[in-house]
Structure 1
Amino acid sequence: MALKHEPTAPFHSVQYALRVLDSVSNRPSGVTEALIARETGLSTEHLAPLLLMLRREGYVERLADGAYAAGDTLALLGSADDRARALRLKLRRSLSELRDSVGAAVYLSRYVDGEIRITDFADSPQTPKVHEWVDFRSAAHASAIGKCLLTQLDHDDRRDHLSRHKTARLTSRTITSEKALFRRLDAQPATVPVLDLQEYAVGTVCAAVPITAGRSVGCLALSLPLSHAHRLRQAADTLNRRATPVLLSMAL
């Protein structure tokens, strides 16, 4: 499977975050921000918000003298007997925090072996997940999740997917023309959230952002009832900005 786009901004942020964690973990007594900047090649402008995110997520902590050391989360992941379980718990916490931050149900999806898979989600009574009235595996052309994943595939892989899952009309807004769908996908900027404005289900709007890493195709998505459509773009922008902690949980 070939990827169409270069890795997205959250992916690059994760690579920088991993460099920072490597610098910090090698010095139990702490490391200064200036030394981290030299070792990672990051400017202060880029390093400061990254360190703030890593502190918020518990990966690093700031010592009394201003240096940075490994935080509780990093120590836990490094010593956990069941590392996979610890990582799953961290991912679930990241998704729950993201749900609360955007005020919407959030979903983590992967494209695996030619199929769309919702691998995790976080919802609540106040932010219920969308009713899957049509299997998401058959609705890539209509859902924000599906379109976001398709944008990351090359032309042949898209054609292969649609040869197995036809572009059925789900609502009056659904794109059923393969040519029109491909034009929409080709015009989609890699760093801009993909939107679904009642294309999958009447009364629901959604947004998704890619979280590509290497050859892995994935995305983060959110759903809102139509009555909250006025919040969609702001929520999508927040989703995009806050994608890095989720991807970092997947990358460790």
Structure 2
Amino acid sequence: MSTSPQSVDRALEILDTVADAAEPVGAKELARRLGCSLSTVYHLLGPLTARGHLVRTADGYAPGPRVAALHRSFQRRLGFGPGVAEVLPRLRRATGAEAYFTAYRDGRITVVDTTAPVTDTAHPFTPGPEPRAHATAHGKALLAALPRAVRRRYLADHGMARLTDRTITSAERFEAELARVRGRGFAVSVGEADPAYTCLAVPLPGAGADFRADGVVRALSVSLPTGDFRRRHGELRAALARAAAGLAARP
């Protein structure tokens, strides 16, 4: 397999295309999407399947078993340990809301894990890169904990797209919002990323110190339909605070 930059980029594009597809993707369709020859696609698919990053099925190519190992390694390096694995389902049971563990590292914000079923493809907050951090509670909680220069660089790189009529797109207003987050110890987004959903988040204790130590900031959050939030916001905040305190108390 060629190791030229173009070849590597195309191999990664194949992985992204297969990962994002709802069903297996055939080689001809991959060639069409990449804009290259079928022989080139097969040339790239060979080592990707041999290494377990992809598998060939009767209907096309799908993610392979190596992906699970990469995901576990990624979670571990962002602090997703046994404590978080226990807290998320407990928080889900206590609140009836989906729970999330999110993290900032190296200019990216990621939903590391969630209690939302993997079959719920319509759910607005799923594991993976979070491109709407400025409009989510977990994004606000993480950005509020970052040094100002790091935060400004993040927003310059990712922008502040208007997703709903509630989305904050002004840098000045957003800084004021983050000041409120730091002051009250939690973040909220009412229909800013998705008009039907509200999310709440708390930074995990020691967020600032953690960033200085390993460049990672972490948060815990929940999301639920906005109508439910208006009736239960106090209860949800208390449950999040208890969950975060429980994680902080673990050795």
Q: TM-score, normalised by structure 2?
A: 0.58
Cα distance in 1 for residues equivalent to 2:85 and 2:237? 19
Matched, 1:102 2:102: no
- Contact kept, 8 Å, 2:205 with 2:244, in 1: the verdict is no
Contact 1:136 1:143 in 2 (8 A): no
Separation (CA, whole Å) in 1 of partners of 2:249 and 2:113:
15
Q: For residues 237 and 136 of structure 1, do their structure 2 counterparts lie closer, same or farther at Cα, with a shift above 3 Å needed?
A: farther
Pairwise CA distance, 1:223:
0.1
Which of 150, 163, 168 lines up with 1:170 in the alignment?
A: 163
Q: Which residue number in structure 1 is paired with residue 147 of structure 2?
A: 154
Q: Within 5 Å, which residues of 2 pair with 1:1-252?
A: 88-123=81-116, 130-132=123-125, 137-213=130-206, 214-216=209-211, 217-229=217-229, 230-248=231-249, 252=251
RMSD of aligned alpha carbons: 2.7
Name which structure has the greater RCO, CA cutoff 8 Å, separation 6+. 1
How many residues are matched?
Answer: 163
Q: Percent identity?
A: 29
Segments of 5+ residues of structure 2 without an aligned counterpart are 1-75, 212-216
In the alignment, the residues of structure 1 paired with residue 189 and residue 219 of structure 2 have an alpha-carbon distance, to the nearest angstrom, of: 14
Query: CA 1:89 to 1:185, structure 2 compared with 1: closer, same or farther past 3 Å?
Result: closer
Contact kept in structure 2, 1:109 and 1:145, CA below 8 Å: yes
- The CA deviation at 1:113 is 1.0
SS at match of 1:161: helix
In 1: Cα distance, 2:113 partner to 2:172 partner: 31
| TM-score of the superposed pair, with normalisation by structure 1 | 0.58
The 2-side partners of 1:211 and 1:190 are apart by 15
Structure with the higher helix share, 1 or 2: 2
Give the deviation of 1:247 after TM superposition: 4.3
